[in-house]
Amino acid sequence: MQTSDQIKSQIQSLLTNHPEISVDVLFLYVPEFKILHQFLDENETIKGYCIGLLEGKQKKYTAGKWLLVLTKKQIHLLRNPMLGNPTHIPIDFAELQNTSTKLGWFFGQIHLETETETFRLIQIGKKDFQFFLPSLQSYLK
């Protein structure tokens, strides 16, 4: 398990070309970053992240913002509500059957399809989506 400081430094390295984004403010306003270190293995490296609303075909997921984190091993979907327990959904790349993206005027969408569930992350801000898309390109099927 990694420490919170290791996660913070990985996020900081992703944001080197975006000096307007403060990692401290990001960790303050996105509670999922505070628990991310509990779910990542020691040798997992963060390649990208984005934030949006999660919908599923088979199951209803809690309302609110979800954090999608792309690592070299798998995709993590995290939700850390103020009241209640955190939710973590790991998706291995071997389980992915289909992935696609869509960008509209203001928001982007990411579709992740596994054998058991189809996830749809919607209302991803356009700038966040464009920041995340290059890291996801190699996994699009």
Residue with tokens 């979800």: 66
Domains of the chain with CATH codes: 4-139 (2.30.29.30)
Which pLDDT value is given to residue 141?
61
* Enclosing H/E stretch for 129: helix 126-136
Which pLDDT value is given to residue 19?
86
**Cα separation, 36 vs 14, whole angstroms:** 16
CA neighbor of 117 nearest in space, from 140, 96, 134, 103: 96
Residue with tokens 């982007």: 108
Q: Which two tokens stand for residue 1?
A: 């398990």
pLDDT in tens, 54-94: 999 988 888 899 999 999 999 999 999 988 899 999 999 99
Which pLDDT value is given to residue 75?
97
**Low-confidence residues in the chain, pLDDT < 50:** none
